[in-house]
Amino acid sequence: QTEKAVEELEKAIRISPEYAEAYNNLAVQHMRMDRFEEAAAELSRALAISGPSPMPLTNLAYAQYRLNRVPEAIASARAALRLDSGSPRANLILGSLLAVDPRTRAESIPHLERAAETLPSARATLEQLRRARRGD
């Protein structure tokens, strides 16, 4: 019921426009509907209200990645990890982005290893990367 969630979150924002978490949650709903421009805008609002915070920065990194704004996505993921170095999602996003570029591939591995401790998708990405490095 993503559309209903969007309506309710928009209502909450009208009632309390300084409620940063509502913008973050609205952005997540937009991402579920593949509306990444809108998600990035909502996350920017959340960050403007609350200041830097790991979850909105991680979500912003993902939205930026989906918008093919890779340098921005890397910067957002790094910012999230400066605030919470153990964030599995931020480590997954940063590791996945770094793995694409041969110049930063080695740097991706520790991020993917950390994410793989709790995220199955990170384990799969890490294994693919290791197979590619071995030439399998």
CB 40 within 8 Å of CB 65: no
**Rounded Cα distance, 83 and 9, in Å:** 26
Q: From the centroid of its chain, how far is CA 82?
A: 14
**Rounded Cα distance, 41 and 96, in Å:** 23
pLDDT of residue 75 exceeding 90, the answer is yes
Residue 85, token pair as written in the block: 């170095």
CB 91 within 8 Å of CB 109: no
pTM above 0.85, yes or no: yes
The tens digit of pLDDT for each residue in 18-73 reads 989 999 999 999 999 999 999 999 999 999 999 999 999 999 999 999 999 999 99
The tens digit of pLDDT for each residue in 81-133 reads 999 999 999 999 999 999 999 999 999 999 999 999 999 999 999 999 988 88
Residue 2, token pair as written in the block: 């993503």
The whole-number pLDDT of residue 132 equals 84
The whole-number pLDDT of residue 31 equals 97
Q: From the centroid of its chain, how far is CA 80?
A: 9
Residue 71, token pair as written in the block: 């340098």
**Rounded Cα distance, 130 and 39, in Å:** 33
Of 36 and 16, the one with more pLDDT: 36
CB 64 within 8 Å of CB 77: no
